[in-house]
Copies of this chain bind each other. A is one copy, B any other.
Amino acid sequence: MRDRSAELPRYLEIQRDLQQKIASGEWAPGSRVPSEHELQAQYSCSRMTVNKALSALARAGLVIRKRRSGSFVASPRSEQTILNIHDIQAEIAASGKAYRFEILLRTKRAMSEEDAARLAVRKTGAVLAMVVRHFAGDIPFVVEERLLNLNVVPDAEIEPFRDSPPGTWLLNVVPWTNAEHSIYADIATGHMASLLDVEKKAACLVIERRTWQGANTITWVRLSYPGERHRLTSHFWPGGAPAI
């Protein structure tokens, strides 16, 4: 029936074809995409195959689909990117540098008002507060301030964190369902500057993250990177992969 010499699956072929028409501007934002019925005829395939292509484009935000009305090229409202925030241990190891970490503080305490606010939970139970410094080679890479919700992760209390830092340990031990990131720039205080081995009042890139398992906040963490030594970079294709 169909050309079996084709490399790509049919639905991907169609998807990229449409994506190309949108990306090139040939199909302007707001304009109507042919209906599944029409595309099915054009590509001489089943409706399900066309549907798979169009659904993927809808998921990627390139088209908007409405029953009875049809599918329309979406107007771009914002630029998206998927930020991959790697496990620090893995990230440094991948860069070829020697990794080590140093636990500067480890305290169990009853949850304070501030702790509760950071974890975004009611003030109850206990937390494990930690400060960890990570090194890439001999250079301080990032300082991690962390709160672990012992109500959710009681095991953390007895974990020595000898081989793995708390972030890596958590990632492997407790599955997370959702996370909130907040990224900003700040001036290194005297203490932070000495920990990162940068000048006083140097710029820091700060990432704050809260991680949940369902309704429970697992952990809050603040990562302070020396501004000149660290960049978050990411490459993004709306379709999920290079189109051509």
Contact = CB atoms under 8 A, between A and B. Distances in A.
Interface of A: 22-25, 29, 59, 75-87, 90, 171-172, 174-187, 201-206, 209, 211, 213-214, 225, 227-228, 230-238, 240, 242-244
A176 B78 CA distance: 11
B177 A23 contact: yes
Contacts of A237: 177-178
Contacts of A213: 23-24
A231 B78 CA distance: 16
Contacts of A185: 185-186, 203-206, 225, 227
A128 B242 CA distance: 27
Count copies of this chain in the complex.
Answer: 2
A54 to B, nearest CB: 15
Given A76-B175, A78-B86, A214-B23, A203 B232 contact: no
A213 to B, nearest CB: 7
A80 B79 contact: no
A233 B179 contact: no
A184 B231 contact: yes
A156 B145 CA distance: 46
B228 A205 contact: no
Given A214-B23, A236-B179, A85 B80 contact: yes
Nearest to A235: B180
Most chain B C-beta atoms within 10 Å of own C-beta, residue among A22, A75, A204, A232:
A232
Contacts of A236: 178-181
